[in-house]
Every structure is written in C-alpha cells, then in structure tokens.
C-alpha cells in the first residue's frame, strides 16, 4: 500500500490522541474529540491487511493489535467478527471508541440490576441497541457494558480505540445465563 499526504496513518492518529489526553481527563471531552479522528483513521486503508479477517472460531472473533502505548495509556485494535457471532456483554475499565469498518455492527447496551455486593455475581438488563454502519462510531464511557453481534453473512471488521490496554483495566465479561461476572482478557496477534 502506497501512502500519500492524504493518508491519516495510525502513528499520526496516536500522536493526535495522545495530544488530547495530555490536555484533558474529562471522558466526555475525550470521546467527543477522539471520535472524528478515529473515524478518519478507520477509513484510511493503509493499516488494513488480509490476515485481519482471521478469527478464533471458538471465540467467534479475532483481534489484531495496531498500537499499544508503552505505559498502557492507549490501546488500538482491529476486531474481526464471524457471521452470526460476536462478543458477550463486557465492560472495558476505560473509555472506548468503536468504528465500523466493513459492515454494520450491532451493539447492544446493558446495565447492572443487582446491587454488586456478591462476588463474581452480576445481573444485567438490556437498555438499548445501536447498529453502526460503515464509518459510524459508538462511544462508551468507563463502566458502560455492551455486547456485539455481526448480523451479516460476511466476516466484518471494526476499529477499536481504548484509553488503557484492556489487559490492564481489570475489566469483566458477563455470563447472562448464569449471572456470572468473569475476568476478560484479550489475545491479540
Ligand atoms: Fe467492547
């Protein structure tokens, strides 16, 4: 892939996001300012590779690392989703900006309805659903819970930006059937 002055490279995006993080810790501000830049970076084709479509068939998705800041303060991945698959409800332990790259992505938002006093126990109820089309963005503040499902017949890609490396936030995924809260680590290639 050749690059030109029109390209918005991941390294430029990283520099711009770090610039935002240097001047504000307000998540509303961060999400508002990072979102249009993430849309621009996601639309740029220079980072795309065919092997990003590979998935862990057991999990139903795959993750490719684009950037991990050495102090864990910024984490960028591309996720691939098998048709009909996705990821169960989870939080991130930080803010998140997601941009759909190749197909509509169904995001379902959840809230805890238990009192949080029982260890490893969580009860969730669905709040809303938002299908983001190619180029559209979904923003989440720390603590928000969502799940994703790919309702298309193709493997789709989405671009994810987080305010901290996801394996350093103590985040959780939720087992809806058994009302369990489980640690959720990510494996990237
Ligand atoms: Fe997520």
The per-residue pLDDT for range 61-112, each reduced to its tens digit, is: 999 999 999 999 999 999 999 999 999 999 999 999 999 999 999 999 999 9
Residue 133 Cα to ligand 1 middle (Å)? 16
CB within 8 A of 59, min separation 6: which ones?
A: 87
Residue 1 Cα to ligand 1 middle (Å)? 29
Answer whether 54's CB lies under 8 Å from 80's CB: yes
Residue 88 Cα to ligand 1 middle (Å)? 9
Residue 13 — very low, low, confident or very high, per pLDDT cuts 50/70/90?
very high
- Domain ranges within the chain, ordered by starting residue: 10-183
The answer, yes or no, to whether residue 151 has pLDDT greater than 90, is yes
Start-to-end CA span in the chain (Å): 20
Residue 5 Cα to ligand 1 middle (Å)? 32
Residue 183 Cα to ligand 1 middle (Å)? 13
Tokens of 94: 């930080």
Residue 6 — very low, low, confident or very high, per pLDDT cuts 50/70/90?
confident
Count Cβ atoms below 10 Å from residue 102 Cβ, excluding itself: 18
Listed residue (24, 32, 62, 17) closest to 187, CA to CA: 62
Residue 159 Cα to ligand 1 middle (Å)? 11
Give the pTM: 0.94
Residue 131 Cα to ligand 1 middle (Å)? 14
DSSP string for residues in 112-152: E-S-S-STTB--EEEEEEEEEPTT-EEEE-TT-EEEEE--S
Burial class (CB in 10 A: 0-12, 13-18, 19+), 83: middle
Residue 89 Cα to ligand 1 middle (Å)? 8
CA separation for the pair 55, 39 (Å, rounded): 23
- The correct CATH number of 10-183 out of 3.40.1390.10, 2.40.320.10, 1.10.287.70, 2.60.120.10 is 2.60.120.10
Residue 3 Cα to ligand 1 middle (Å)? 30
Residue 106 Cα to ligand 1 middle (Å)? 12
Give residue 96's region: left, alpha or beta (phi > 0; psi -120 to 50): beta
């Amino acid at each position: 892939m050749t690059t030109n002055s029109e390209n918005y490279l991941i390294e430029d995006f990283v520099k711009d996001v770090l610039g935002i993080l240097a001047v504000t810790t307000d998540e509303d501000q961060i999400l508002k300012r990072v979102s249009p830049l993430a849309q621009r970076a996601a639309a740029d084709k220079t980072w795309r590779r065919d092997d990003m479509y590979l998935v862990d068939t057991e999990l139903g998705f795959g993750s490719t690392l684009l950037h991990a800041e050495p102090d864990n303060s910024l984490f960028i991945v591309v996720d691939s989703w098998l048709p009909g698959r996705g990821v169960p409800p989870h939080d991130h332990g930080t803010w998140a900006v997601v941009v759909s790259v190749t197909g509509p992505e169904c995001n379902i938002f959840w809230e805890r309805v238990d009192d949080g006093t029982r260890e490893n126990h969580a009860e969730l109820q669905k709040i809303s659903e938002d299908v983001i089309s190619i180029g559209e963005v979904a923003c989440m503040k720390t603590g928000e819970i969502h799940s994703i499902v790919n309702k298309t017949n193709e493997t789709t890609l989405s671009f994810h930006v987080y305010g901290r490396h996801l394996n350093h936030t103590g985040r959780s995924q939720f087992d809806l059937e058994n009302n369990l809260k489980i640690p959720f680590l990510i494996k990237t290639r």
